[in-house]
Structure 1
Amino acid sequence: MSCKGIALVTGAAQGIGRAIALRLADNGFDVAVNDIAVSAELQSLVEEIQQRGRASSIHAADVSQDAQVREMIEAVVQNHGGLDVMVANAGVVGPSGMVIADVTVEEWDRVMNINARGTFLSYKYAGLQMVKQGRGGRIIGASSLTGKQGHNAQVTYSASKFAVRGLTQAAAIEFGSHGITVNAYAPGVIETPMFFGLLPGPEMRDGLKAQIPLKTFGVPTDIADFVSFIASKESKFITGQTISINGGLFFD
């Protein structure tokens, strides 16, 4: 199987990021993976990608730090020869149930630095590399249901995910003339370790599931399915969009 290009997925150690990395490998991409630190989960992911016949490498970096993101992109290019798909998936969620009056500046900065600034830096350095290469590319970010509809007691997370939508639209305009599309996904309730940490009890989960028209939660491969398409040549006329993947919990 010939290589369709080189992809980088941030926040890839588990959950949605891991599913995306494996799907892109299945699609024929060599896949570089990132998380805040090297871990057994990240190492096993690289092994799984390599078992699929694709090259892979680990790039530990804090996506909120300018120099670390720039150096990460440079290392991916040095290891693999370029960059064609950037998936800025890394993110954190603030404490559930914290209302505006209780949010500290430190907590606001922590969430915004990773979710908003981290996505900005990933877009920036990936976009610069793709422009330099002159062969187009795909930049894909992670928004959220709460980035389309503000939720009570999730002020920092919601604000950061709204920021991703605005960034995605602006970047799509800026990079469009270079054949680079910029889109984002907005998951609803997806069964990930982060989700189970927020809703630990079955009663809370059942109550939320009842609100979803499809009466089920999503799984990470539901997001990977979207990324698989948006990273492909067939998506060449789609840019600046943030696509809801939420089982009907919220309609645009």
Structure 2
Amino acid sequence: MALAANAALSMNNWRTNMSEHPVVLITGALTGIGRAAAFAFAHEHARVVVSGRRAEEGEQLAAELRALGSEAEFVQADVRLEDSVRELVDRTVARFGRLDVAVNSAGTEGESGPVTELTPERYAAVFDTNVLGTVLSMKHEMRVMLAQRSGSIVNISSTMGSRGAPNVSLYVASKHAVEGLTRSAAIEGAASGVRVNAVAPGPVETAMLQRLTGNEERKAVFLASVPLKRAGTPEEIADAIVFVASGKASFFTGEILRVNGGKTAS
């Protein structure tokens, strides 16, 4: 029986169950890593629901995914609002009948500055998206996955989820929180066959990196501290997300996969 099960898992390739076209929900899908993940899953023949706050961009993304042959839908949602998240998950299940993979990619770096300049408003601007948004997303994704007794959730952390950095303390703290939430939810979901992990990118060629570094000179100095001497691409991070979500990582839960060019090795 064990050999048969292992053979079935091997034939299953990246998928989390035996569905031919798994259902994947991605929050924060309109830019950067979330957008790259949408294309990566579409190339793997998944049925993809992409979500974000900007309807026009979302519908355009869904159209691009459908042009690749993927069944794709856009659902407008704000991860800071529970009713919005609940509707997002419910509409996904209503459309496709299940939820196999969820990628919680919605995030913001917030406004930079020293601890002495922090305000409750700055705190809320970061934590409402990065932490509350992850909490609400997992709450409703797990509601479905626990009932179907299968599923894989991938949260997006950061290299800063395991270390400190000056002038971005709220972002750093929020990603530490995401990693703690990931580990705790993984323990809760394990008995029901629900895996919860996180991918923690280092510097990636996105608009966020441009905002954080400010200009090309500062960006070059920052990237010089990366052992591979470059930023990652959104597509490289998306490949890691697909792997973590897949059946190839079936014994992988409560873990943080750090994809950062060696940044945390030095």
TM-score (norm 1): 0.95
> Match for residue 69 of structure 2?
53
User: Is 2:120 the counterpart of 1:105?
Assistant: yes
User: Is 2:214 the counterpart of 1:200?
Assistant: yes
Q: Write the distance in 1 (CA, Å) between the matches of 2:119 and 2:252.
A: 38
Q: Write the distance in 1 (CA, Å) between the matches of 2:172 and 2:225.
A: 20
> Match for residue 119 of structure 1?
134
Q: CA deviation at 1:195?
A: 1.3
> Match for residue 13 of structure 1?
30
Q: Write the distance in 2 (CA, Å) between the matches of 1:44 and 1:190.
A: 23
Percent of aligned pairs sharing the same letter: 38
Amino acid at match of 2:66: Q
Q: Write the distance in 1 (CA, Å) between the matches of 2:96 and 2:198.
A: 24
For residues 211-230 of structure 1, the aligned pairs below 5 Å read: 211-230=225-244
Q: CA deviation at 1:150?
A: 1.4
What is the SS of the residue equivalent to 1:47? helix
Q: Write the distance in 1 (CA, Å) between the matches of 2:151 and 2:264.
A: 30
Deviations along 1:179-207, one digit per CA (max 9) or x if unpaired, are 11100011110000121122231211111
Deviations along 1:139-159, one digit per CA (max 9) or x if unpaired, are 010111111101111111111
Aligned length: 248
For residues 1-252 of structure 1, the aligned pairs below 5 Å read: 3-40=20-57, 42-96=58-112, 98-134=113-149, 136-251=150-265
Q: Are the aligned partners of 2:213 and 2:222 in contact in 1 as well (CA < 8 Å)?
A: no
Q: Write the distance in 1 (CA, Å) between the matches of 2:204 and 2:142.
A: 28
Unaligned runs of at least 5 residues, structure 2: 1-18
Q: Write the distance in 1 (CA, Å) between the matches of 2:180 and 2:265.
A: 19
> Match for residue 9 of structure 2?
none
Q: Are the aligned partners of 1:3 and 1:30 in contact in 2 as well (CA < 8 Å)?
A: no
Q: CA deviation at 1:43?
A: 2.1
Amino acid at match of 1:154: V
Q: CA deviation at 1:133?
A: 1.8
Q: CA deviation at 1:132?
A: 1.4
Q: CA deviation at 1:83?
A: 0.6
What is the SS of the residue equivalent to 1:208? helix
Q: Write the distance in 1 (CA, Å) between the matches of 2:59 and 2:54.
A: 11
How well do the aligned residues superpose, as a CA RMSD in angstroms? 1.3
TM-score (norm 2): 0.90
